[in-house]
Structure 1
Amino acid sequence: MSEQVHPDEAARALDQIRNRQEQVINVSVVPAWYWWLVGGLIVALAAAVESREPVTIGVGVTVFVLGILGGTGWVVRGAVRVQPRNELLGGRGVTMILGFVALVLGITLAVAFSLAAAGVSYPATLANLLGAVLLIVGGPMLTRTLRRVMLNNRAGASR
């Protein structure tokens, strides 16, 4: 251990570590297409259920389940491969995710019940259309914010 590490070597090593950490974080974020997929699937499911046709409902549920499983599996496969640390998201990140889900669900349910009370046809489909827009617009915003949180929580990040 008599070797001295030169400052420029240490700086290069730290840069490599930061770059690899950022690569792990980038692989674990939710891509924008996923929000479009989920939004489209919830609207299609609601429309199928509100049709009250057993075959349409069966097809709609099947498409929804297979779409969610396939899309989620595709997104999760990368995150499982790199296995980011739990500390990257931290309490703030988890709270943001839960808050986003609660906001979208709360707005969608309130609109659905309001439309149903007003006698509007297909209230769940229309409300889920709004929910899909919230996911498509808000999902990527949430993803970008969570990426920043993870970058700030990584080892060696300036706080």
Structure 2
Amino acid sequence: MSDISPDEARAALGAVATAHQHVTDEIGLPRGYWWAMAGGWVALGAIGQFAPWWVTTIATVIFGAGHATVASRLLDGRRRSTRLQVSRDTADRRIPLIVIGILVAAVALTIGVAFALQADGTAHPSLWAGIVVAAVIGFGGPDILAAVRPRTRVRHA
């Protein structure tokens, strides 16, 4: 070890840091998850707008059960892509809580947008609110998760 220069040591540490960043960048959910969620959001908005309350309730329960089934496999954040599956020690255990928080925020946003659109006199406010929030989820879901994730404690492998 004494024959390693300070520059070589810095370069090696930089390579390790870069490799670690590439691994932690793989933490998250596949883009398809976010688009499936967005599609479900639009469907629920349409059902809520045009179907009776009891159909909306059943559809919401089915959507929730379907999401729970899919999310139970993906929500740990370890399988964002097929290139790499990060270890359980690398993926923060709070990723599921972050995703659930994003979904709760999406529900609140949907309700707020629907109320605002209805107050403005827009036809079909539930449908339009679902579409607006679906766009946020589909296009922004991965970016929102990536922005929130560094604020959590991600363990270093």
Task: Identify the TM-score tier after normalising by the shorter chain.
Answer: 0.5 to 0.7
Q: Alignment partner for residue 129 of structure 1, among 115, 128, 131?
A: 131
Q: Alignment partner for residue 84 of structure 1, among 80, 90, 94?
A: 90
Q: In the alignment, which residue of structure 1 is the partner of 2:21?
A: 22
Q: In the alignment, which residue of structure 2 is the partner of 1:6?
A: 4
User: CA offsets per residue over residues 66-92 of structure 1, 9 Å max, x none?
Assistant: 135404632425178333376xx9xxx
Q: Residues of 2 paired with 1:137 and 1:60: CA distance? A: 22
Q: Residues of 2 paired with 1:60 and 1:20: CA distance? A: 42
Contact 1:38 1:68 in 2 (8 A): no
Q: Residues of 2 paired with 1:34 and 1:84: CA distance? A: 21
Contact 1:116 1:123 in 2 (8 A): yes
The alpha-carbon distance between structure 1 residues 9 and 82, as it changes in their structure 2 partners (threshold 3 A), is farther
Q: Residues of 2 paired with 1:78 and 1:144: CA distance? A: 14
Q: Residues of 1 paired with 2:107 and 2:63: CA distance? A: 21
Aligned residue for 1:48, secondary structure, equals helix
Q: Residues of 1 paired with 2:54 and 2:28: CA distance? A: 37
Contact 2:111 2:129 in 1 (8 A): yes
Contact 1:27 1:82 in 2 (8 A): no
Gap runs ≥5 in structure 1: none
Q: In the alignment, which residue of structure 2 is the partner of 1:61?
A: 61
CA RMSD of aligned residues (A): 4.1
Equivalent residues in 2 for 1:75-154 (5 A)?
Answer: 75-76=75-76, 78=78, 81-84=87-90, 102=105, 104=106, 107-117=109-119, 120=122, 122-145=124-147, 149=150
Q: Residues of 1 paired with 2:57 and 2:102: CA distance? A: 30
Q: Residues of 2 paired with 1:78 and 1:64: CA distance? A: 22
Contact 2:78 2:87 in 1 (8 A): yes
Residue 22 of structure 1: CA displacement?
Answer: 1.9
Give the TM-score, by structure 2 length. Answer: 0.59
The alpha-carbon distance between structure 1 residues 38 and 85, as it changes in their structure 2 partners (threshold 3 A), is closer
The alpha-carbon distance between structure 1 residues 144 and 85, as it changes in their structure 2 partners (threshold 3 A), is closer
Residue 130 of structure 1: CA displacement?
Answer: 0.6
Q: How many residues align?
A: 141
Q: Which has a greater percent of helix?
A: 1
Percent of matched pairs sharing the same residue? 26
Residue 134 of structure 1: CA displacement?
Answer: 1.6
